[in-house]
Amino acid sequence: MGAQEPIGKVYLIGAGPGDPELLTVKAARLITSADVVLHDSLVGREILRLAQPSAEVIDVGKRAGKKLLTQDEINSLLVAHAKRRALVVRLKGGDPAVFGRAAEEIAALRSAGIACELVPGVTAALGAAAAAGISLTDRRFASQVLFTTFSRQEGNAIDWAGLSPATTLALYMPGPDYAEVATRLVENAMPEELPCVIVSNIGRREQQIRWSTIGALAKEEKLPAPALMIVGHVASRATQLAESLWPLLRSTRGRPPDARSISVI
């Protein structure tokens, strides 16, 4: 019996928030070398144009909230193309391991005996903070960052216990109802005067940035999806205001924040 023919490999690649210049060098190299590219709807045309003309480019994303393919169908496509000894790229917006379904795809590939590798990308929270020109862990005001999504499903709520005045909340997919977000924040002891910033279409030409506070969110015009909301003292637009908040934070915390932690839930 002859040796088994080698099969391909799948790379789960983060395409970042939208700007092709935010791709890693490794990501760009793999996209240009790929035989097959399966991409989400958030991946822009400028990035897809990096694929070689002979590559098969397959859209497996969502349109108006409806999936073109089920996750099981996507998993099957990845396995089938890799078995043809192809270099397969699974291209996801942001980072493939943050609020994506990379774990399910990895499990399916491993079960089929397919080699796979994660290639990190710039996640939306980092892209939004860069666009707004703020530091998520400004040591004067923040000792931790919480990456989470705003879920409207029962039994899948945010764990608010980890929040404090020194928490920066990076809220993925806040949805169109800012009033609901504000209500939930206030109900969980977040003050109405706490600053927040919403960044829409991060890294794209149509990017928009909206500065606000929790109390004013209900009256804000809704920005197009995809969007991300950053809530916390670091999200103040005025440096003078941020400076004035430092004595207050010291009194509420008892000591300056000095720890660094990032939680993904």
Q: Identify the three-state secondary structure at position 181.
A: helix
Euclidean distance between CA atoms 116 and 113, whole angstroms: 9
Query: Nearest 5°: CA angle at 38, between 32 and 40?
Result: 110
Burial of 140 (0-12, 13-18, 19+ CB in 10 A): middle
Return the closest-CA partner of residue 193 out of 201, 185, 205: 185
Residues 191/214, Cβ–Cβ less than 8 Å: yes
> Which two three-digit tokens encode residue 44?
């822009």
Catalytic annotation, pick one of 40, 92, 95, 190: 40
Residue 45, Cα to own-chain centre: how many angstroms? 19
Phi, psi angles (nearest 5°) of residue 263 = -110, 135
Catalytic annotation, pick one of 26, 62, 67, 219: 62
Residues 73/113, Cβ–Cβ less than 8 Å: no
Q: Is 173 a catalytic residue?
A: yes
Q: Is 40 a catalytic residue?
A: yes
- In this structure, which amino acid lies at residue 15? A
Catalytic annotation, pick one of 59, 83, 173, 222: 173
The catalytic residue positions are 40, 62, 173
